Amino acid sequence: MYVNRWIETHAHIRPNKVALIDRVSGVSFTYQDLQRASHLQAYRLASLGVKEGDRVAVYSQNRPEILELFLACGLLGACLVPLNWRLTPQELEKIVADCQPKITFVEPGLAGGETLEAQSIFSLQTLSADPVELPRVSPDAALAIFYTGGTTGVPKGAVLTHRSMQANAWNTIGGWGLSPDDIAPVFTPMFHTGGLNVCATPLLCLGGTLVLPGNFDPVKSLEVIEQERCTFVFLVPTMYEMLRQAPGFSRSRVALVRKWISGGAPCPKTLFEAYWNEGIPLIQGYGLTEAGPNTFGVSFEDAQKRSGTVGVPLPGIEVKLTGEDGKEVAVGVAGELHVRGEHVMSGYWNKPNETAQVVQDGWLATGDLAYRDADGFYYICGRRKEMFISGGENVFPAEIEEVILTHPNIAEVAVVGVPHPKWGEVGRAYLVLKQAGEHDEVQLVEHIQKTLAKYKIPKEYVVMDSLPKSAAGKVLKRMLMESVRA
């Protein structure tokens, strides 16, 4: 219902406004073009037997066809399932078996697509279909299913409805101050909520302009931001580091960007400071697949003044922090973050028990620990399951990792708790070095001691060539913990 009105409205109010620029093909779409394309795709899907409640899976890199299918599914009351093309065939098989799509489309030549029972994403373009009467879609109808990155080992499909995606769009527009004049590149893959819902759907709701740059390349991405006169950029920390290191990177080339947001993983303070020193107002975002994802907002001034804050809740979002007893914690005390609002998922697909474990009375238990300062600003401490207790003190790995990353020879780090006969648990730091073979553990400990209390300092250090990561690029600490138990 709600989402279906976006393109329809803009096609009448601003028909010639550019909605989408595809840098790969060189094709641009006005809102009128996008409205016509989405209706055509809806008719074509209907001719293939797709109806209300059906799932339509797509295995493709960021292409205009994904947005066309997303909008077409909305018109039919069907549900889009973007498949992660970084997964193994075995992982994809589990997801497809879970969501049971009516039809699956793949991008020809994309590795892994040959293992799926599917047809080319381009086959729709040559399919003729007569117009059909479109149903009146409920706001609570499923519109998209995003499968989580699987850091717990079992991917779950978070169901987002027309209502929840509309709420995320409104929250983002109002809380982040977006404008119809904003132009945003979509660098992150649309099989994640970060690719489709951080800026793409909010800007389509508002009547802004999206740019599809193709696969992320720091040099080409810098050119896209400059040449397309982008005003709003969202990247994960690794991408920000690569962009900063790109030849020719300077504030003057990205001067039109007024909003820079990092998300998907904690951003090291050193990376923030590198951008700030260039005069670039980079801030930390926070979100999760099950809720929006956008949850908090913060001004650049507060981001600088209140190191590490994700800000305050966006409009339409309630937040609370609870302790082990389920009661709300005091200011300055870490508790599990719960969020409530229309942006929250309707549940996990086909998993009522798992849904009931995390959603109660509309409150979504995020599994993240956070605290609130006296002025109402929130700070993320890390995952609840990652916290360990050393000598009776709560220890948050994210805090330790941020300090270790300030050492000039540390490229990546992951800290986990390991058993200890005296203290119960102590920290073990897994390190990836910038200069291999130049690790001085004594010097690193001295560096950490300048900032952290003694009980927080890891007692063990392991140098690795790389850290295990999910297809979403998140460190798989469960694999590190499993190696400890082994």
Q: How confident is the model at residue 313 (pLDDT cuts 50, 70, 90)?
A: very high
Q: State the average pLDDT over residues 408-412.
A: 93
Question: What pLDDT does residue 398 have?
Answer: 85
* CA distances (Å), origin 173, targets 34, 294, 345: 21, 10, 19
* CA–CA dist 111, 385 (Å, integer): 34
Q: CB–CB of 351/156 below 8 Å? A: yes
Q: Does the pLDDT value for residue 423 go beyond 60?
A: yes
Q: Which helix (H) or strand (E) holds 12?
A: helix 2-13
Q: CB–CB of 207/10 below 8 Å? A: yes
Q: Does the pLDDT value for residue 268 go beyond 80?
A: yes
Q: How confident is the model at residue 205 (pLDDT cuts 50, 70, 90)?
A: very high
Q: Does the pLDDT value for residue 301 go beyond 90?
A: yes
Question: What pLDDT does residue 388 have?
Answer: 87
Q: State the average pLDDT over residues 299-311.
A: 95
Q: Does the pLDDT value for residue 1 go beyond 70?
A: no
Q: Does the pLDDT value for residue 149 go beyond 60?
A: no
Q: Which of 167, 195, 138 lies closest to 291 in space, CA to CA?
A: 167
Question: What pLDDT does residue 486 have?
Answer: 58
Q: State the average pLDDT over residues 145-161.
A: 79
Q: How confident is the model at residue 246 (pLDDT cuts 50, 70, 90)?
A: very high
What residue type is assigned to position 322 of the chain?
T
Q: State the average pLDDT over residues 437-457.
A: 90
Question: What pLDDT does residue 154 have?
Answer: 64
Query: Per-residue pLDDT tens for 13-39?
Result: 999 999 999 999 999 999 999 999 999
Residues 6+ apart with CB under 8 A from 107: 59, 60, 61, 63, 113, 120, 121
Q: Does the pLDDT value for residue 48 go beyond 80?
A: yes
Q: How many C-beta atoms lie closer than 10 Å to residue 110's C-beta?
A: 13
pTM: 0.87
Question: What pLDDT does residue 153 have?
Answer: 55
* CA–CA dist 310, 331 (Å, integer): 16
Give 3-state DSSP helix, strand, coil % of the chain, rounded to 5: 35, 25, 40
Q: State the average pLDDT over residues 297-323.
A: 96
Q: Does the pLDDT value for residue 314 go beyond 60?
A: yes
User: How much is the mean pLDDT over the chain?
Assistant: 93
Strand, helix or coil for residue 170? helix
DSSP code of residue 344: B
Q: Phi and psi dihedrals of 288, rounded to 5?
A: -150, 155
Domains of the chain and CATH, by start: 2-378 (3.40.50.12780), 387-485 (3.30.300.30)
The better pLDDT of the pair 422, 48 is held by: 48
Query: Per-residue pLDDT tens for 157-170?
Result: 999 999 999 999 99
Question: What pLDDT does residue 155 have?
Answer: 78
DSSP string, 274-289: HHHHTT--EEE--EET
* CA–CA dist 450, 403 (Å, integer): 10
- Quick one: 132 exposed, middle or buried, by C-beta within 10 A (0-12, 13-18, 19+)? middle
DSSP code of residue 469: B
* CA distances (Å), origin 92, targets 78, 87, 347: 21, 6, 21
Q: State the average pLDDT over residues 323-352.
A: 96
Question: What pLDDT does residue 151 have?
Answer: 45
Pairing of strands 183-185, 209-212: parallel
Instruction: Please measure the distance between the N-terminal and C-terminal CA atoms of the chain and give it in whole angstroms.
Output: 51
What residue type is assigned to position 139 of the chain?
P
Q: State the average pLDDT over residues 356-365.
A: 96
Question: What pLDDT does residue 386 have?
Answer: 84
Question: What pLDDT does residue 393 have?
Answer: 80
